[in-house]
Structure 1
């Protein structure tokens, strides 16, 4: 299954439609997104991992796909993603054991990592 890419593809058209109706809201959100994820004392990969874990806790498929892609683009490793998802499981319990694997799958998809562990 193509969880991450499929989720983003499914959201693309409806998001464009809504954005065309409320462009100021989306512009404000985009500015906040850019500022929040800019490198600072925390690097971009760390911020994307935090956002990914929050997406799992919030059970937000679009957030998971977007921040899995962001983490992959920022150079996060498979182990860093796994550990961030472990924190989400700690803080959110059972639901994160469902959404955490989805997040890992999306990250691997965007990072072009292995679909299953090797070794």
Structure 2
């Protein structure tokens, strides 16, 4: 299991416990999230790439894992992710190189999992 999966697994139960404790907050967040990520002037893939770059800037491993997976699900290519992460590095300096690499590894991990088996 790669880092992206490990982070999601680590956060799964604590996240569920917090959702049970404050369901109204999570319901509001879910509604806002759906509205923000809906296709509009920007498509969903572009929004996931923006979110992934912001996750790098915020140094949030859980966000990186979520949006790396989202980038895969919306059809982002490795080149598109790399360029988005390049912008994140430009905006964040040295820490961007650490969290950008984590984001790139997470994207590749989820992309490999999503790729059809060849054999």
- Length-normalised TM-score, structure 2: 0.92
Task: Give the aligned partner of residue 2 of structure 2.
Answer: 2
User: Displacement, 1:3?
Assistant: 1.1
Describe the superposition over 1:47-75 as per-residue Cα deviations: whole angstroms up to 9, x where unpaired: 00000000000000000000000000000
Describe the superposition over 1:64-117 as per-residue Cα deviations: whole angstroms up to 9, x where unpaired: 00000000000000000000000000011110100001000100111118xxxx
Q: Which SS does the other structure have where 1:40 is aligned?
A: coil
Give 4+ residue runs of structure 1 displaced > 3 Å after superposition: none
2:64 matched to 1:49? no
Q: Distance in 1 between matches of 2:101 and 2:42?
A: 25
Task: Give the aligned partner of residue 81 of structure 2.
Answer: 81
Q: Which SS does the other structure have where 1:75 is aligned?
A: coil
2:94 matched to 1:94? yes
- Length-normalised TM-score, structure 1: 0.92
Aligned residue-pair number:
113
In structure 1, stretches of 5+ residues that fail to align are: 114-119
Q: Distance in 2 between matches of 1:30 and 1:96?
A: 28
